[in-house]
Structure 1
Amino acid sequence: MGEGFDLLIRGAEVVTSQAVRRLDIGIRDGRISALEAGLSALAADRVIEARGKLALPGMIDMHVHFNEPNYGHWEGFQAGSAALAAGGVTVYADMPLNGNPPTVTLEALRLKQSLAAGRSAVDYAIWGGLVPGNAEELAGLHAEGVIGFKAFMSNPGGEGEGRFREVDDATLYEGMKRIASLGGMVALHAESEAMTNALHAQAAAEGRLDARAFIEARPVAAELAAVSQAIAMAEDTGCSLHFVHISSADAVELIEQAKWRGLDVTVETCPHYLTLTADDMERLGPVAKCAPPLRDAEQVERLWSHLAKGRIDIVASDHSPSPWSMKSMEGRTFADAWGGIAGAQSSLELMVHEALARGIPLARIAAVTAAEPAKRLGLYPRKGEIAVGFDADIAILDPEAGYTLREEDLLQLHKHSPYIGRTFSCRVDATLVRGMTVYDRREGVLLPGCGELVRPSIRF
């Protein structure tokens, strides 16, 4: 069509990381080529009428667990990415566990890449791992384009000989030095293994295996101890550091102080820490079990305050699925049940719902779900904004399509979520990846294999 558009999204309330404006979005060759009011529909091959709808940059979920290879029966690329597409996510970064082998060698990375190719509905990146014994693998993984290196400071659990292992102090310190020399980034699960292990053992000895015992065995103090230690190592090694799924406002404040001192450090939290409490974990049972655990209502409100003030950089799902048999309380205690929340499909809707209810600008939500993740993962300025020249990765939400989440609404492999029965004030209407409509609310996933592997370029 010459200078026309392949697609025109007309009349949407367009949300950027700075503002919300009613605009038309012209898309050509998979990228946004025009962004202004009054673009002519005559110049477009196809038009989406979006008046009254919100157009947000597609969420970049930098923390999901699609457990291939060999654990696709927990969640694989096809079902997991379908759920993300239905939730307005256009890019995700897959963690190096709980697949077997975990992504801690070049061979394992290439195996995972081959399994993802042609099976993801949205674009994706892959994390490598830092574990005891894989120091010589780090350079090869970095050269092959992993988005960064995940490490655990506490036992991640899991099954089998090849399971992902936590780092000791020496492994973390030496790994951070090597990764800093590569220009890479470490993503840390920060809980003190010494503290949590001792408290769990004490609770078990007392016969306390319920939800409250689990919560008390992983206190905020365990998170703070690990965060403080990791910051000291980052300060000494110069390594870029990203804290995943931070659960407490106290830890956010500790990380903020490190930023003031000039450290390259970012903080991520999750929708479940912003919308659920420790009381919900007791009420709902293992479907709401996660580590770190859910906190009290005061911590939830303080986290929202930090998010509104720009102290939380990123919101990610930490989608950590499992078969229902591993969540069920039949024949097991809460302590035995799998820990991980399956919430990938609900993240963006939860954030928009809460923002509208709390009076938080939607531009702030666009920042923590899209622009800032894109910058941290090295995908900006290609992804993360609705702006001319960026990939046309767009989530269209209907703010009037309130609904109550049902089990049958979920596209993930195992239909359990702590959000079932929750009422949302908005709903994803369509999701576009590079200008292609990959999900439509009425028709479902339209392009189940169009997602492409993305690699970091410039990390902010």
Structure 2
Amino acid sequence: MNCDLLVKNGRVVTAEGVDAADVVVKDGRVAALLSPGAREDVRADRVLDAAGKLVLPGAIDVHAHLNDPGFTWREDFAHGTAAAAAGGVTTVVDMPLQNEPALTNAEIFARKHEAVREKALVDYAFWGGLTGDNLDRMHELHEAGVTSFKVFLGPVSPDYRTLDLGVVREALEIAASFGGLLGFHAEDYSIIRHEEDRAIRAGRTGRPDFLRSRPVDAERIATAGVIELARATGARVHICHVSHPEVAELIRRARAEGLSVTGETCTHYLVFGEDDVLERGMLFKCAPPLRDSAAREGLWDYVVDGTLACVASDHSPCAPQEKDESEGAFKAWGGISGIQSLMAVFFDRAVHRRGLSPSLVAARLSEGPARIFGLWGRKGTIRVGSDADLVILDPNRGWRITEESLQYLNRISAFVGLEGKGVPETTIVRGRVVWSDGAVRAPFGCGQLVRRRGA
């Protein structure tokens, strides 16, 4: 058998298990999985020896803000996808906001693709945006290939819009007609705005005041409303960045009823807590906010049982000055840069610190995202016929995140200083090595647009 690439001697990880196997790659896809000793007839143009290491499916980060086009002083596709490659992420599903303009119709989809296509180091897909005045463009966005539609129920930046549940209900009815997926930033607008205004009127604008302005009640109420509308319309809904087990429990119960409700959490909710905001400042500000230690530990149960089928980064970079809190915590940028650390951090916390199988990493970073966001069959696992999106990871090699190690345009992150074990050493996209030995190994522009299956 002639092939382009042979990854030999590794232990291949899927959501189903970990098995010793050699991966044969031809024309960008997995051509065969061979048991040890069965590769004598394989003739490969390139051979990578993964002895002592794991071979995982590339991570699919379904929640990232790469800010391109429009806000490229925060991040751009070149830096963002280089960081993704460095961290074992082979497909990025980019959000429609922190783009200028927001991705709300098929024409903007095409323009965004044109703007980023020569910068991408890994594959990418797009969320579509819902801003209330573009419900009549949902079908065309679906046909263009968006994986999903992003809705904000809580406060959002001026370039986007918060939607009320009446508009959301109509959008869900439309989405149900073609099997579309709506993803929600689920926090109640009225609670948050009232608490912010009350704090500001009293001259309370510090770190504790920001945390109090976004109580878990606001997240729970908004999520419950979305679930009720999913029940009423039969539409598919996805709750983004779940921060608390009480919210995850609502999703679990909805799924037990047979509703099409899925959820994700993010590595920062699994690692950090509200004390980090209080003690270390605005690098840890995000929305929903970090919760207490009991909530952080409780989220893991819902990750393990599959209620939260995706773990994403919600990579939301900014320039350093935007984290300044000299005018109070409310005005500082809310977001954490985390795409590069997604796989390493989750692997360390799941496998080394909790004794869980590496299969959980494949399930939550690859298979779950691919199934929910319409990429399954091409992305999300290592099997014959799938794209050869592979990560060779040394499970016992230690790492420490430093500013110098980050590939971001702005090298700031709450994850700086964190230590663990499990380094994604080599990242392969469709059979091509894009990152290895700490450096980019392919030309920018080799990443490709991936459309939802059926588009």
Q: Same fold (TM over 0.5)?
A: yes
Partner of 1:142: 142
Could you tell me the percent identity over the aligned residues? 39
Q: CA RMSD in A?
A: 1.4
How much does 1:148 deviate? 1.1
Residue 436 (1) aligns with residue 441 (2): no
How much does 1:283 deviate? 2.1
- Out of 331, 336, 340, the residue aligned to residue 341 of structure 1 is 336
Q: Could you tell me whether the CA contact under 8 Å between 2:153 and 2:184 is conserved in 1?
A: yes
Residue 205 (1) aligns with residue 204 (2): no
SS in 2 for 1:108: helix
Partner of 1:103: 103
Give the distance between the partners of 2:442 and 2:454, measured in 1 at CA. Answer: 32
Residue 129 (1) aligns with residue 129 (2): yes
Correspondence 1:175-324 to 2 at 5 A: 175-324=171-320
Give the distance between the partners of 1:39 and 1:411, measured in 2 at CA. Answer: 39
Partner of 1:30: 28
Residue 325 (1) aligns with residue 324 (2): no
Give the distance between the partners of 2:3 and 2:186, measured in 1 at CA. Answer: 47
Partner of 1:403: 399
Partner of 2:162: 166
Correspondence 1:30-109 to 2 at 5 A: 30-36=28-34, 37-40=36-39, 43-109=43-109
How much does 1:445 deviate? 4.3
SS in 2 for 1:400: strand
Q: Using the TM superposition, name which of 275-284 and 220-229 deviates more.
A: 275-284
Q: Could you tell me whether the CA contact under 8 Å between 2:347 and 2:358 is conserved in 1?
A: yes
Give the distance between the partners of 1:28 and 1:129, measured in 2 at CA. Answer: 36
Q: Using the TM superposition, name which of 265-274 and 207-216 deviates more.
A: 207-216
Q: Could you tell me whether the CA contact under 8 Å between 2:93 and 2:126 is conserved in 1?
A: yes
Q: Deviations over 1:396-426 (max 9, x none)?
A: 1112321211101000110001111111212
Give the distance between the partners of 1:318 and 1:132, measured in 2 at CA. Answer: 23
Give the distance between the partners of 1:225 and 1:139, measured in 2 at CA. Answer: 29
Q: Deviations over 1:86-129 (max 9, x none)?
A: 00000011101011110112222221111121210011100111
How much does 1:458 deviate? 5.9
Of Structure 1 and Structure 2, the greater strand share is in 2
Give the distance between the partners of 1:240 and 1:403, measured in 2 at CA. Answer: 39
Give the distance between the partners of 1:8 and 1:394, measured in 2 at CA. Answer: 12
SS in 2 for 1:419: coil
Give the distance between the partners of 1:15 and 1:435, measured in 2 at CA. Answer: 17
SS in 2 for 1:403: strand
Which 4+ stretches in 1 moved above 6 angstroms? none
SS in 1 for 2:2: coil
Residue 354 (1) aligns with residue 349 (2): yes
SS in 1 for 2:6: strand
Q: TM-score when scaled to structure 2?
A: 0.97
Give the distance between the partners of 1:133 and 1:358, measured in 2 at CA. Answer: 46
Give the distance between the partners of 1:183 and 1:43, measured in 2 at CA. Answer: 44
Q: Which structure 1 segments of 5+ residues have no match?
A: none
Give the distance between the partners of 1:21 and 1:107, measured in 2 at CA. Answer: 45
Q: Could you tell me whether the CA contact under 8 Å between 1:249 and 1:302 is conserved in 2?
A: yes
Q: Could you tell me whether the CA contact under 8 Å between 1:439 and 1:447 is conserved in 2?
A: no
How much does 1:447 deviate? 3.0
Give the distance between the partners of 1:81 and 1:438, measured in 2 at CA. Answer: 10
Partner of 1:11: 9
Q: TM-score when scaled to structure 1?
A: 0.96
Correspondence 1:415-426 to 2 at 5 A: 415-426=411-422
How much does 1:145 deviate? 1.0
Q: Which structure 2 segments of 5+ residues have no match?
A: none
Aligned residues: 452
Give the distance between the partners of 1:25 and 1:131, measured in 2 at CA. Answer: 44
SS in 2 for 1:177: helix
